[in-house]
């Protein structure tokens, strides 16, 4: 097996102005102090240490995600980006994405992030409806969301917008209308996510207490169909379950690295990585708390405790899970270790959940709606 040459780099910036009630990412309230600057330095040191492991690679993408990386000092983003560019060979079409929240204060710094080397902004618009934004516990309104989208379109060559739908009481007609308004903002990429109630979040507790309920499965499916229909009519291709792009060049190259099972490094608190070394796929997981991460980098050079080799079955399971999310699916040879019985595949094709393709497993649009069931049927 040859070592894959291209590499993505994920940087996790865990601080947020406040914690949204639906969010279960690895996030911490930003309390200022010296820690964020120390974290930026530790991330650069972690990348330097990991570069000695990977050896020379072509750098395909850098993704500054969070948390809220748009709250970091743009000078730190510049240092992290230039360290990655120095440590590996930047591809001619290197994609550098920053996740941003759409407050006016953050939009005012977009030009500085562009000067730091960011060429794609992923803006967490979430909604264009003030009542919905309030329900979601966001610290911006629809007007500042629109202003931030305009500022981003001026500052960056590429723009993606995140939206959250399937909110309590949301009708397909209202969602279609909101989506049209989001399309009107001119982004090349849209990521509408169905609201998920994650265990341990404030929304989880509220739902348990009967404060609100999310739409039932039928309404959820109707809202999902509305998303597909409205975005397809506007020229967006649903290249992944929740990701729609205006043409192949507008796809998220970084996320495709995950979905296509390629190599990526993770740096920053809680970041995951997958690196193929000596023909074996290895998993890394950095310490989750910023202080622990900084201490670990100071002690060991890297932010993770160990590189864990993935077994053939485990690696194939990951390939299946991510591959079924994208239009191209996953080649059967890549998931051979799962020893999926041909009769099982035939049955899922008959049910209309998998496309009839002798070489690849590809979920149909009906299959994408029940992806959990589909992957469970194939992986167990
Ligand atoms: C890691 S968040 C970071 C984005 C940025 N901090 C923000 O909030 O705008 C990435 C995206 O995941 C989505 N997301 C997070 N939790 C979700 C949930 N429980 N249900 C649906 N979407 C969610 C949101 O659309 C969010 O923009
Ligand atoms: S949704 Fe974004 S801003 Fe809100 S807590 Fe999660 S990462 Fe932070």
Q: For residues 106 and 88, what is the distance between their CA atoms, to the nearest angstrom?
A: 29
Q: How many CB atoms sit inside 10 A of residue 246's CB?
A: 18
99 lines ligand 1 (CB under 6 A): yes
CA-nearest of 194, 187, 190 to 231 is 190
Q: In this structure, are residues 190 and 250 in contact, taking their beta carbons and an 8 Å threshold?
A: no
The average pLDDT across 89-108 equals 96
State the closest ligand 1 atom to the C-alpha of 102, by its place in the atom list counted from 1: 9
First to last CA, the chain: 27
Q: For residues 367 and 45, what is the distance between their CA atoms, to the nearest angstrom?
A: 43
CA-nearest of 67, 111, 364 to 241 is 364
Q: 213: which 2 tokens? A: 């309920």
Q: 286: which 2 tokens? A: 């950095």
The average pLDDT across 328-334 equals 96
Do you find a cis peptide bond into 67, omega within 30 degrees of 0?
A: yes
DSSP single-letter state for residue 248: G
Q: In this structure, are residues 244 and 236 in contact, taking their beta carbons and an 8 Å threshold?
A: yes
Q: In this structure, are residues 361 and 332 in contact, taking their beta carbons and an 8 Å threshold?
A: yes
- Residue 2 predicted with pLDDT over 80: no
State the closest ligand 1 atom to the C-alpha of 25, by its place in the atom list counted from 1: 1
Mutate-to-test residue for ligand 2 from 27, 66, 163, 191, highest number of ligand atoms within 8 A of CB: 27
pLDDT digits (tens, 9 = 90+) for 213-246: 999 999 999 999 999 999 999 999 999 999 999 9
The average pLDDT across 27-52 equals 96
SS3 299: helix
The average pLDDT across 43-59 equals 97
DSSP codes of every residue in 34-85: SHHHHHHHHHHHHHHHHHHHH-S-EEEEEEEEES-GGGS-HHHHHHHHHHHH
The average pLDDT across 300-317 equals 94
The protein residue with its alpha carbon nearest to ligand 2, atom 7, reads 67
Cα(105) to centroid(ligand 2), Å: 16
The band of 279, judged by pLDDT with boundaries at 50, 70 and 90, is confident
- Residue 93 predicted with pLDDT over 80: yes
Beta strand residue intervals within 51-188, DSSP E: 58-66, 89-100, 120-126, 158-165
Rg of the chain taking only CA atoms, in angstroms? 21
CA-nearest of 301, 275, 306, 286 to 11 is 286
The average pLDDT across 88-97 equals 97
The average pLDDT across 50-54 equals 96
Q: 33: which 2 tokens? A: 């102090």
SS3 282: strand
**pLDDT for the residue 15:** 97
Ligand nearest to the CA of 125: 1
Q: In this structure, are residues 332 and 356 in contact, taking their beta carbons and an 8 Å threshold?
A: no
SS3 15: strand
**pLDDT for the residue 278:** 84
Q: 354: which 2 tokens? A: 């998998």
- Residue 1 predicted with pLDDT over 50: no
The band of 380, judged by pLDDT with boundaries at 50, 70 and 90, is confident
Ligand 2 neighbours, Cβ below 6 Å, are 16, 19-20, 23, 25, 27, 66-68, 101, 124
The average pLDDT across 124-146 equals 97
The average pLDDT across 135-141 equals 97
**What is the reported pTM?**
0.96
- Residue 266 predicted with pLDDT over 50: yes
The band of 42, judged by pLDDT with boundaries at 50, 70 and 90, is very high
- Residue 3 predicted with pLDDT over 70: no
Phi, psi of 7 (to 5 degrees): -140, 140
- Residue 4 predicted with pLDDT over 70: no
CA-nearest of 64, 142, 60 to 100 is 64
The band of 163, judged by pLDDT with boundaries at 50, 70 and 90, is very high
CB contact set of 288 (below 8 Å; sequence gap of 6+): 26, 269, 270
The protein residue with its alpha carbon nearest to ligand 2, atom 2, reads 67
**pLDDT for the residue 379:** 86
**pLDDT for the residue 40:** 98
pLDDT over 90 for what percent of the chain?
A: 94
**pLDDT for the residue 5:** 78
Cα(12) to centroid(ligand 2), Å: 12
């Amino acid at each position: 097996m040859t070592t894959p040459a291209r590499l993505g780099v994920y940087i996790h910036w865990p601080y947020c102005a406040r914690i949204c009630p639906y969010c279960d990412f690895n996030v911490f309230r930003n309390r200022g102090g010296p820690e964020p600057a120390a974290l930026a330095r530790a991330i650069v040191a972690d990348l330097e240490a990991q570069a000695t492991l990977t050896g020379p690679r072509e750098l395909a993408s850098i993704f500054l995600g969070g948390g809220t990386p748009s709250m970091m000092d743009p000078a730190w983003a510049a240092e992290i980006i230039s360290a990655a560019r120095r440590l590996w060979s930047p591809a001619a079409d290197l994609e550098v994405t920053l996740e941003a929240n759409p407050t006016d204060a953050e939009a005012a710094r977009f030009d500085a992030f562009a000067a730091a080397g960011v060429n794609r902004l992923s803006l967490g618009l979430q909604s264009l409806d003030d009542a919905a934004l309030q329900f979601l516990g966001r610290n911006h309104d629809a007007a500042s969301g629109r202003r931030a989208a305009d500022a981003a379109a001026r500052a960056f060559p590429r723009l993606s917008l995140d939206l959250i739908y399937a909110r309590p009481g949301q009708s397909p007609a209202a969602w279609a209308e909101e989506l049209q308004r989001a399309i009107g903002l001119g982004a090349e990429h849209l990521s509408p996510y169905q609201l998920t109630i994650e265990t341990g979040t404030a929304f989880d507790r509220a739902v348990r207490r009967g404060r609100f309920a999310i739409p039932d499965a039928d309404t959820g499916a109707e809202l999902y169909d509305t998303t597909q229909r409205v975005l397809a009519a506007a020229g967006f291709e649903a290249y992944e379950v929740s990701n729609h792009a205006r043409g192949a060049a507008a796809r998220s190259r970084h996320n495709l690295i995950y979905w296509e099972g390629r190599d990526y490094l993770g740096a920053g608190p809680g970041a995951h990585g997958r690196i193929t070394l000596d023909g074996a796929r290895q998993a890394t997981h950095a310490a989750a708390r910023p202080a622990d991460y900084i201490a670990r980098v100071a002690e060991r050079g890297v932010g993770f405790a160990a590189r864990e080799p993935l077994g053939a079955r485990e690696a194939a399971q990951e390939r299946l899970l991510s591959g079924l999310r994208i239009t191209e699916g996953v080649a059967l040879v890549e998931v051979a270790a799962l020893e999926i019985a041909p009769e099982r595949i035939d049955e899922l094709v008959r049910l209309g959940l998998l496309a009839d393709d002798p070489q690849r497993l590809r979920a149909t649009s009906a299959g994408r709606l029940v992806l959990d069931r589909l992957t469970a049927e194939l992986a167990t």
